[in-house]
Amino acid sequence: MEEFLRALPKSELHVHIEGTLEPELAFSLAEKHGIRLPYADVNALRAAYDFSDLQSFLDIYYAGAGVLRDAADFHALTRAYMERAHADGIVHTEIFFDPQTHTARGVPLASVLEGIGDALREARAQNGTTHRLILCFLRHLSAEDAMHTLDEALQLKAGIAGVGLDSSELGHPPSKFATVFERARAQGLLAVAHAGEEGPPGYVSETLDLLRVRRIDHGVRSEEDPALMERLVRERIPLTVCPLSNVRLQIFSDMGQHNLKRLLERGVCVTVNSDDPAYFGGYLLDNFRAVTDALQLSRAQVVTLARNSIEASFLDDPSKHRWLQQIDALAARPPA
């Protein structure tokens, strides 16, 4: 199964570039900029990755992002992720970034975009990995701040394909960002949003109705609402599920309790993703391996997950068709 998982062409649709910051790179950037991290070494920092909920993770994640200061830092971060992605058999990736985390510290949005963009273009030239970039608004900040960020990105002609919504979910309903998303969509941007991770299924419905998103990020709590489940299946709305993240943030007590297999068997278009791999113990292949082992997924179910990742992506139809054919050809070969 291991080699089959790796060889399957896959796309990753839910990864925060700031969440790919490995402790080794964090320490080397801290040294470069003369920043003292409040941890003795890489091991002490890793040991602090013991989360009780989403907020306990976000506190460490935003503090970690403080070492990212110039375009070269964002370039190094993104290159490292793209190398891992290629090694895991990822052929296409849709990357989130959180501009407000950086602009609030005085890092220009143009530097963030330059570093990430250069690394993405290099990866495409070297390995053929394609990408889309998705600008996420931080939902714990105001809608005015989000609108300002959107305007700045539009002025810079930032090369972004879409907008997303992340950070602390509870207490920050999607309705808060309806106007911002309306403007983004009117400017031709695609929309996705985190919902139903810690928040109730009502936030997923509201996200679909008010933000008109093409996918829901996480969405695992949708299972609590039968009418919503029917809607997700009927309207074929993808959920970008992040198994290791959900266990590390205690949404599920262990991987055996994860609902990914049930969602799949109910006919929801679920995909597997890594979210913040440097913090949650693994990249995309680690996530595939973890769910395949704990939930005893069949080969056919793994193939469906890979197909869903292509279908739910923002690739054009001919590219989707090409990758789906390659997946089907691989699936048709007898197991080694």
Residues annotated as part of the active site: 197
Q: Which is nearer to ligand ADE, 215 or 307 (CB)?
A: 215
The C-alpha angle with vertex 72 and arms to 12 and 38, in degrees rounded to 5, equals: 85
Q: Which is nearer to Zn ion, 111 or 245 (CB)?
A: 245
- 275 near ligand ADE (CB under 6 A): yes
**Residue among 268, 125, 155, 124 nearest 135 (CA):** 155
- 194 near ligand ADE (CB under 6 A): yes
Q: Residue 178 has which token pair?
A: 């309806």
Burial grade of 52 (CB within 10 A; 0-12, 13-18, 19 or more): exposed
Q: Which stretch binds Zn ion (CB under 5 A): 68-76, 268-276, 283-291, 295-303?
A: 268-276
List the x/- string, 296-335, binding to ligand ADE by CB under 6 A: ----------------------------------------
Q: Residue 29 has which token pair?
A: 């950037």
94 binds, among Zn ion, ligand ADE, none (CB under 5 to 8 A by kind): none
Nearest distance, CB of residue 328 and ligand ADE, angstroms: 32
Angle between helical axes of 178-186 and 201-211 (0-180°, round to 10): 40
131 binds, among ligand ADE, Zn ion, none (CB under 5 to 8 A by kind): none
- Residue 294's identity, in one-letter code, is A
Nearest distance, CB of residue 242 and ligand ADE, angstroms: 7
Written as one string, the DSSP assignment of 234-249 is HTT--EEE-HHHHHHT
Among 5, 13, 15, 54, binds ligand ADE (CB under 6 A): 54
Is residue 260 within 8 A of residue 292, CB to CB? The reply is no
Number of residues binding to Zn ion, judged by CB under 5 A: 1
Q: CB-based contacts of 254: which residues, under 8 Å, 6+ apart?
A: 247, 294
Is 200 in a helix, a strand, or coil? coil
Q: Residue 323 has which token pair?
A: 């990758």
Residue with tokens 């055996």: 256
- 239 near ligand ADE (CB under 6 A): no
Cβ-proximal residue to Zn ion, closest one: 275
Nearest distance, CB of residue 16 and ligand ADE, angstroms: 4
Angle between helical axes of 299-311 and 317-332 (0-180°, round to 10): 170
Nearest distance, CB of residue 245 and ligand ADE, angstroms: 5
Number of residues binding to ligand ADE, judged by CB under 6 A: 11
288 binds, among Zn ion, ligand ADE, none (CB under 5 to 8 A by kind): none
- 245 near ligand ADE (CB under 6 A): yes
Among 58, 275, 295, 297, binds Zn ion (CB under 5 A): 275
Residue 306 is classified by DSSP as H
Judged by the rule CB under 6 A, the positions of this chain that interact with ligand ADE are 16, 19, 54, 61, 166-167, 194, 197, 245, 275-276
